[in-house]
Amino acid sequence: MKFIVLLSCSLALENVIVAKNYETDNKDNETDLTKLDRRLKIVNGWPTTIEKYPFTVSLQDRRRHGRYGHMCGASIIGRHWIMTAAHCLTKEYSNQLMDNVMQLRIVVGATTVEPEPDAAAVYHSIESVHVSPCWMVRPKKVVECDIGLIKTTKAIDFTTRVQPVKLWKYTPVYRLGDVAVLGWGKTARDQRLPPQPNTLRGVYLQPIKCHNYRTLCLKAGYGYDAAHGDSGGPVVAHVKMVQGEPEYVQVGIASGGFRKLEGRWHNRNTDVAEFCDWIRDTTKSDFCFRKPNQ
């Protein structure tokens, strides 16, 4: 089967810089290798703003001298609910919650998150944390069900900079075309420190088939990569609704892992559609969207 990969490096013009056919038989039969690192960042990509992606969240932990710093990406799915990767909430290579998980800070409405968030940023504290019951770290650090939910103590006020994102229930995602992965961080692989200020960035990648039905695989390459994308950040597609203008829907969660397909490494992400029942049961709300004819 052939896929077209379209990558963009300019937000204003969204110029296509690569368009190339790829042949694949989608045989997902090689070794898994997942590297869980909350510091992993999007490589290259394009700068953007919170106004374009108002559902994007910075999850921050307290560091030395009492200062907070960006740790993981996340997304707003409801007035009290944030979605992220499970490994952003648990101890390294463990199924146990971090000791300080309730002290994490949620930052919404900010394009820049470091050294200090935008003046318009809004902060929220955590009431409860939930990880998928099937979340596990298997041998060789391979993860399963890398998804978690955070309930905020206070309702999130929606503005032009703060909005929820619909969750895509229909699969397979690879039929939607290119998806965008969003996060804060490095603009080059060899960069030791994040740029100052640390602003929101994104990258377009092509979904491909995975044999693991809970996983969304994205084709990486040409220097634009989300294999080093902010863990927990949203993977979104631009979808035409039955009525109205196209809008972004979340199809995945950046997991920060890798899978080898046809001799090339691809980054692995959590397929949100596979967890809609768990999300509904946990939040008591149906945040997953599905077109009436699907």
DSSP string of the chain, one letter each residue: -EEEEEEE--TTT--EEEEEEEE------S-EEE---TT---BS-EE--TTTSTTEEEEEEE-GGG-EEEEEEEEEEETTEEEE-GGGTB-TTSSSBPTTGGG-EEEES-SEEESS--TT-EEE-EEEEEE-TT-EEEGGGEEE---EEEEESSPPPP-SS----EEE--S-GGGG--EEEEEE--SSTT-SS--SSEEEEEEEEEEE--SSTTEEEEE-BTTBBSTTSPTT-EEEEEE--SSSS-EEEEEEEEEEEEEEETTEEEEEEEEGGGGHHHHHHHHSS--EE--TT-
Q: Which of 43, 282, 284, 289 is nearest to 145 (CA)?
A: 282
| Strands of the 122-124 sheet, one edge to the other | 122-124, 105-108, 56-62, 68-78, 81-84, 148-152, 126-131
Instruction: Name the pairing type of β-strands 2-8 and 16-23.
Output: antiparallel
Report pLDDT digits (tens) over 157-185. Answer: 999 999 999 998 875 676 777 788 888 85
Average pLDDT for the chain: 74
Position 107: which residue type? V
Q: In this structure, is residue 118 part of a structural domain?
A: yes
> What is the distance between the alpha carbons of residues 228 and 273, in angstroms, rounded to a whole number?
23
Query: Which pLDDT score is estimated for 259?
Result: 54
Q: In this structure, is residue 190 part of a structural domain?
A: yes
Residue 59 has pLDDT above 50, yes or no: yes
Query: Which pLDDT score is estimated for 2?
Result: 31
> What is the distance between the alpha carbons of residues 159 and 123, in angstroms, rounded to a whole number?
14
Q: In this structure, is residue 13 part of a structural domain?
A: no
Cβ count near 14 (within 10 Å): 11
Range(s) of the domain holding residue 98: 26-289
Position 187: which residue type? T
Query: Which pLDDT score is estimated for 165?
Result: 97
Lookup result for tokens 């800070």: 105
Q: In this structure, is residue 5 part of a structural domain?
A: no
CATH number at residue 188: 2.40.10.10
Query: Which pLDDT score is estimated for 97?
Result: 93
Partnered with residue 128 across adjacent β-strands are 151
Q: In this structure, is residue 132 part of a structural domain?
A: yes
**∠ CA(42), CA(232), CA(270), 5° rounding?**
100
Partnered with residue 100 across adjacent β-strands are none
Judging by beta carbons within 10 Å of its beta carbon (0-12, 13-18, 19+), is residue 294 exposed, middle or buried? Answer: exposed
Report pLDDT digits (tens) over 221-240. Answer: 544 444 333 789 999 988 87
Between these two residues, 148 and 22, which has the higher pLDDT value?
148
Domain count, the chain: 1
Position 283: which residue type? T
Q: In this structure, is residue 150 part of a structural domain?
A: yes
Q: In this structure, is residue 210 part of a structural domain?
A: yes
Q: In this structure, is residue 149 part of a structural domain?
A: yes
Query: Which pLDDT score is estimated for 24?
Result: 31
